[in-house]
Structure 1
Amino acid sequence: MSAPILLAHPGHFFAAGRTRKNKASRMKYEELPRSALIKLLQDYDAERAEAGKDGIVLNYSGRAAPWQIVRQVKPRMCELNKRASVGGAAEEVANELWDGENLAAMVTLYKYRGQVDLVLTDPPYNTGEDFRYNDKWDKDPNDPDMGELVAKDDGSRHSKWLRFMTPRLWMMREMLKPGGVIAICIDHRELYRLGMLMDEIFHEENRLGIINWQKTTPKNQSSKLSLTTEYVLVYAKSAELAKTGLVERSALADARFGNIDNDPLSDWKQGDLTGKGASKNANYAIQSPFTGDFHHPGERHWANKRSAMKKWLEEWDVSYEDMDIGDKRGKALALKGWGAANATQRKALLKRAADVAGKRLDKGAWPYLYWGVDGQQKPVRKVYKALVRQGGVPTTFWLEDDEAPPAIDGVSWLRTLSGRSRDGIEELDAVVGKGHNFETVKPLRLIKKIIQIWCRKDGIVLDPFAGSGTTGHAVLELNQEQDANRRFVLIEQGNDAKGDNYAKTLTADRVKRVITGKWKSGDREPLGGGFRYFTLKREKVDATAVNALAREEMMDLLLVSYWDRNDKAKSYLKRLPVGEHKHLFAVNTRNEGFFLVWTAPDQPSALTRTVFKEIVQEAKAAGLAGRYHVYASLAPYTGNDIEFYKIPDKVLEHIGFNARADAFNNDGGTDAD
């Protein structure tokens, strides 16, 4: 028997085909116009069909289908803040940092829909200290206020968090490429609810794995478990199309390998033969054939079976036997005959063993267990580069930096591999100084590892909850380490206790400092790069708003909205310095000029023959290719080498605004057909 399907609508609860409604909800439905009732039934049918794919839909108070919410959100006007942007004209176009509410920002960033390789984000946790909710969003998701902090004792705190996250997750999915991946950080408070919501929106079959990362060392807490882990839920838009990459080893890790003994297997490095902690059965001593000294693992234990240890010892062309040497550690592995020999015999036995082992040392290609390059050291082992995975994603705790199984499902990452929460704070302190009031910052190692695995080297990473800017920092650092050119889009709206909007004072400040190398803790090597800083405005985009823009405002909007359907991956424009040209304002990646015939809302905006001659001269002086992209209200003059973009129609189209269908401005609730 299949699991029951749960669906929710305002005042309505459906379960396994049964309907229950109260008198108040019945009165509300009776008051609805015919078109609204039809739409409600259509949404119910669509939701039921969607639920049938996964068997269950999460039900909570005030639930609405995410697409119903998203379609009410209107794209906003924006402003390019040139003073807050970083880098030269060529560097700043690659990345974007948006100051504004993230749902509206994602709707506005229409050109990135279906273009993002990885959504990597750390949303507010429902702790009573981090999460804000605006009750007005229940009716109008366009309200820009972040709302009030949701207290720990708020009885509706979980449903508010779900109502907040649902449309945002839906939009994050819309932003992904068909093979794109989302990795979302969470702690235990909302783990299960988020998992069910992700299963619903992305579907269970697209769940790639759950990363369990050790954020701190265990603490002694007598009354409860020590909370040492947090989680990253990883889903694909389509698991069949998504690719899970390998974590590349660093150049430093590769440099540790060599082959001084000409081992035919491969280059190797020194490794430890012991494991953590004592063991009753693996604390015995082993005797060196070179010095006769007995070596034991100290407060640790031999990490391999006794039979394997004996086999490796005897590969030095000497024989071993079990012997009680009186150290209360169990029988040692001693040179054969050592126990029955007197002092003179032992001296002769050791000389023979040293001669044989010395010849084996001189021969090269030493055994797996060896005694240092001169035979005079403690026993160690070889770690062969050919047998070490070149990278991978772990299925359980990694033992070393180089040991990484290639599959992912339920995944655990040790803090030594993914960093600690404290590392994140210390990294932020070093870059921007103390006093930022951030108490939870994800470590760079964790974020970099996720980016390495799920974003190609020329891909786009979107972080809709950018916070302190760790994602931007990680992208820039990886780009330098791997000679990559990943791009980031960060969105942040948050205020500290003083009402300071820290998108500029913290997020942008951190990314700027790592780009320039001007850290608070002292100068570092600059990572290079840049970003454009945009502020999302309260005004909604429509034809009237576009036609009312001043020239620089119009240029800002064109820079944000433009995309090339034939070259979506590189459809950004490089803005040219304002004031140098009358019409030319930007250049694309093919060195083609973009021209704006617009001085002010009340001035003529027409591409005439005279204006085109001016455009040709500007393009020639700038050394641009012979194709002209021109924005104007009218185009009395046309030509084969002119790409004309009509204002406001083409501008609205660039940001996904269809004036006829108006998908973002459907208020519903009317009887009009």
Structure 2
Amino acid sequence: MHDPERDEDVTADSNPFEPISDKRDHQGPGEVQGNIDALARLFPDAVVDGKVSLDVLADLIGQQADRSGAEGFGLRWPGMNEARKLSAQPATRTLLPRQDESVDWDTTRNMVIEGDNLEVLRLLRRGYTGAVDVIYIDPPYNTGNDFVYDDKFGASRTETEMAAGLRDETGSLEHGAASDLAADRRAGASRHSKWLSMMYPRLLLAHHLLKETGVIIVAIDDTENARLKLLTDRIFGAENYIANVVWQGGRKNDSRYVSVGHDYMLIYAKNERSLKEKGVLWREPRQADETTLKASQQAWLESGKKPEEATRLMKKWISSLPAGHPAKENNRFYEFESDGRVYRKRDISWPGGGGPRYDVLHPVTGLPVRVPARGWIYSKPERMQQDIDNGLIVWGKDHTEFINRKTYLDSDDGAVPTSVFERKRTSSSKALDQLLGEGVFEYPKDKDVVARWINLAAAGNSDALVLDFFAGSGSTGHAVMDLNAADGGNRRYILVQLDEPVKKDGYATIADITRERLRRAGAQIAQQGTLDAQGIDTGFRSYKLADSNVKPWDGTAELDLLDSVDNLVSGRSTDDLLVEMMLRLGIDLVTPVATRKVAESTLYSLAGTLYAFFGGDLDAAKADEVARAIIAWRDEDPVDSDVTVVVLDTGFRDSSAKLNLAAALRQAGVTTLRSI
């Protein structure tokens, strides 16, 4: 198979397969070494021998450096520093594939992951950094009850009080020991601190996963809205803040003072400048435009195709509508052009005043028209000229009159979403009861609201990747499938849900409810039979968070060499090991995988660019068989990129078998060899 004389660079004492980074090695994006590497690329003078000089870094960024001890505006709470560290920790666990719980495993690109979302986000970081278009989360509101997300560094009330200076080093209360009000304040501070410490590392990880043009939407109520706004300003940057949308969901007539029936959706871009540079606009179909358009077409025909008469008939129709009819809003200003196209005059001044002032010449008189008191809406004359050239300006009879913009009724410009909307929350509960049965899940997210804002945040991108790491009943996944069914899109979702126990017949955990909802919703959509719904992805791959497939060594005692000969956890399959390998190498978990049987085990091909073999007890003959199978498969399905081969480090009977496999592969041109 190969020429032994060419193997002089491979000795019996060398390992020809480079080990895949150990799970304790902080090398990935957002992990400790990854952060140092990023700093080294930006500021090489500040990183010497792998260590960061904070003094040099401060000098390089000049006056923007916040020296230790300097006062600054921002959110602080006891336990913040420890919570931040959680985001930079490496992933120590893995995901186990659950094909029996999945739908269309071989073809779907959606994923449902069961387990603590902090660890799952760490696992996803290597493969999905900069890959997510929209994150929509509805985290648990801070009700004061114990959190099911109890992270390692979550502070107890006593720890919080000590960090805040309310207790001395012995743990004794120093302030207001006998005061009920003081006790309440201490309890409140502890609850807020614990909730913020839960959210902080997860949002830091979310920031890594978003694309530069990505958007995150976080649902929240009054209790933590103000603190969450400061926290998200810190993580995503106040300059990337989009809006704090208010959702009025109902009225509470038993309230003592004010009916507080609203929640919020805090919206941030990963990089708002990137959205602006790409010309991204958030627009949605105007309400009742279709009804109005049909009425205008009827008026045009009845008028004998005369613009003035058609306009009169149109105004008559609008006046006949009942108060509150959506088609009545603003439509009285629609007018007809000579070809029957309908438009509405729009203001052309700068919102709020202080806009630019420059000359816009009237096409008849050639003199500058009147500039609005608030200035022009467009900052540059060139942008105004575009509208003039496209016939989108309504001119007065001469330069003494104001001008307007045209908005055509049949245009696809759409409407800008408002920051306040109303929709009863009970509708989402009723819809889920119809799908799963009554009372299976309380207070589900409204899939229609989620779908609307996902579509807006993705700017209509029908291939968007959507992440929800507080999945609940699975509303976000349902919303993504609905969007695809409506326009034939290829959006995909990743849902993460804690294996939180529930007392519901047929369901052991909330994640069980998530999966069942997606199964039933997908089946309903597939049965609709509409043209757009045909062929859309209504499946999902199910995974469960678990300990690594590789036995850990905690470093506290001598490594047992006999036990290390087989370093895999008992009962795990090669499919399990494949997923862990993909996570460590940062490979999308839905990458197409093909298999063949070789040397009594499974040989995997991941889109022809990576081959993995986790068989054991390989002697020289079997190693040669594996090498020949890999090379033959590569030659059958050649790719333009380099090919990587991954093997099980303990899968060889002796070192000569490992060297034989490596030499055969290298002789065939495969030089990237890894082991796990």
- TM-score, normalised via structure 1 length: 0.60
How far has the Cα of 1:439 moved from its partner?
Answer: 2.4
Give 1:238's aligned residue.
271
Distance change in 2, residues 1:560/1:597 (3 Å)? same
SS at match of 1:514: helix
Superposition RMSD in Å: 4.8
Answer yes or no: is the 8 Å Cα contact 1:51–1:57 preserved in 2: no
Determine whether 1:201 maps to 2:201: no
Answer yes or no: is the 8 Å Cα contact 1:273–1:303 preserved in 2: no
Give 1:636's aligned residue.
663
Answer yes or no: is the 8 Å Cα contact 1:125–1:131 preserved in 2: no
How far has the Cα of 1:81 moved from its partner?
Answer: 0.7
1:512 pairs, out of 519, 524, 527, with: 519
Deviations 1:529-555 (A, max 9, x none): 322111111348788799526423212
1:108 pairs, out of 123, 128, 131, with: 123
How far has the Cα of 1:458 moved from its partner?
Answer: 1.4
2:447 pairs, out of 444, 448, 454, with: 444
Answer yes or no: is the 8 Å Cα contact 2:284–2:416 preserved in 1: no
SS at match of 2:242: strand
Distance change in 2, residues 1:445/1:180 (3 Å)? same
Give 1:468's aligned residue.
473
How far has the Cα of 1:187 moved from its partner?
Answer: 0.8
Give 1:414's aligned residue.
422
Answer yes or no: is the 8 Å Cα contact 1:598–1:605 preserved in 2: no
**One-letter identity of the residue aligned with 1:548:** L
**One-letter identity of the residue aligned with 2:665:** T
Determine whether 1:229 maps to 2:229: no
Give 2:103's aligned residue.
86
Deviations 1:295-343 (A, max 9, x none): 89689999799xx89x99xxxxxxxxxxxxxxxxxxxxxxxxxxxxxxx
SS at match of 1:137: coil
SS at match of 1:77: strand
Determine whether 1:548 maps to 2:568: yes
Distance change in 2, residues 1:131/1:226 (3 Å)? farther
Determine whether 1:121 maps to 2:137: yes
Distance change in 2, residues 1:300/1:428 (3 Å)? closer
How many angstroms apart in 2 are the aligned matches of 1:470 and 1:50?
45
1:574 pairs, out of 584, 592, 595, with: 592
1:613 pairs, out of 622, 628, 632, with: 628
How many angstroms apart in 2 are the aligned matches of 1:272 and 1:485?
42
How many angstroms apart in 1 are the aligned matches of 2:599 and 2:568?
22
Give identity over the alignment, percent.
Answer: 26
Give 2:214's aligned residue.
180
Give 1:249's aligned residue.
285
SS at match of 1:64: helix
Answer yes or no: is the 8 Å Cα contact 2:114–2:511 preserved in 1: yes
Higher percent of residues as helix: 2
**One-letter identity of the residue aligned with 2:517:** R
Answer yes or no: is the 8 Å Cα contact 1:607–1:637 preserved in 2: no
Determine whether 1:598 maps to 2:618: no
How many angstroms apart in 1 are the aligned matches of 2:211 and 2:284?
23
Distance change in 2, residues 1:69/1:474 (3 Å)? same
Answer yes or no: is the 8 Å Cα contact 1:70–1:167 preserved in 2: yes
**One-letter identity of the residue aligned with 1:573:** T
Answer yes or no: is the 8 Å Cα contact 1:516–1:528 preserved in 2: no
Distance change in 2, residues 1:464/1:251 (3 Å)? same
Deviations 1:359-394 (A, max 9, x none): xxxxxxxxxxxxxxxxxxxxxxxx995376633432
SS at match of 1:114: coil
Distance change in 2, residues 1:532/1:272 (3 Å)? farther
Give 2:366's aligned residue.
none
How many angstroms apart in 2 are the aligned matches of 1:518 and 1:486?
15
Deviations 1:111-158 (A, max 9, x none): 111211111111000124584353743389xxxxxxxxxx99943111
How far has the Cα of 1:101 moved from its partner?
Answer: 0.6
Structural mapping, 1:57-72, within 5 Å: 57-64=74-81, 66-72=83-89
Give 1:96's aligned residue.
111
How many angstroms apart in 2 are the aligned matches of 1:606 and 1:247?
64
Distance change in 2, residues 1:604/1:630 (3 Å)? farther
Determine whether 1:459 maps to 2:458: no
Distance change in 2, residues 1:250/1:49 (3 Å)? same
2:580 pairs, out of 557, 580, 583, with: 557
How many angstroms apart in 2 are the aligned matches of 1:478 and 1:302?
25
How many angstroms apart in 2 are the aligned matches of 1:462 and 1:636?
43
Answer yes or no: is the 8 Å Cα contact 1:469–1:510 preserved in 2: yes
How many angstroms apart in 1 are the aligned matches of 2:436 and 2:89?
38
Answer yes or no: is the 8 Å Cα contact 1:257–1:385 preserved in 2: no
* Number of residue pairs matched by the alignment: 473
How many angstroms apart in 1 are the aligned matches of 2:435 and 2:233?
37
Structure 1 stretch displaced more, 635-644 or 122-131: 635-644
Give 1:393's aligned residue.
416
Give 1:341's aligned residue.
none
Give 2:432's aligned residue.
428
Q: Which has the larger radius of gyration?
A: 1
Distance change in 2, residues 1:518/1:202 (3 Å)? closer
SS at match of 1:462: strand
Structural mapping, 1:255-654, within 5 Å: 257-258=293-294, 259-260=297-298, 261-262=300-301, 386=409, 390-395=413-418, 411-415=419-423, 420-436=424-440, 438-455=441-458, 456-498=461-503, 502-517=509-524, 528-539=537-548, 547-548=567-568, 550-563=573-586, 572-576=590-594, 586-588=604-606, 591-592=607-608, 594-600=610-616, 608-616=623-631, 624-625=637-638, 629-632=644-647, 633=649, 634=658, 635-639=662-666, 642=670, 644-648=672-676
How far has the Cα of 1:595 moved from its partner?
Answer: 3.1
**One-letter identity of the residue aligned with 2:208:** E
Give 1:191's aligned residue.
225
Answer yes or no: is the 8 Å Cα contact 1:245–1:454 preserved in 2: no
- TM-score, normalised via structure 2 length: 0.59
Structure 1 stretch displaced more, 634-643 or 449-458: 634-643
Deviations 1:43-79 (A, max 9, x none): 9999973999995221212221654222235331221
**One-letter identity of the residue aligned with 2:230:** M
How far has the Cα of 1:507 moved from its partner?
Answer: 0.9
How far has the Cα of 1:257 moved from its partner?
Answer: 3.5
- Structure 2 residue ranges without an equivalent (≥5): 1-51, 157-183, 337-405, 554-563, 650-657
Distance change in 2, residues 1:562/1:126 (3 Å)? same
SS at match of 1:70: helix
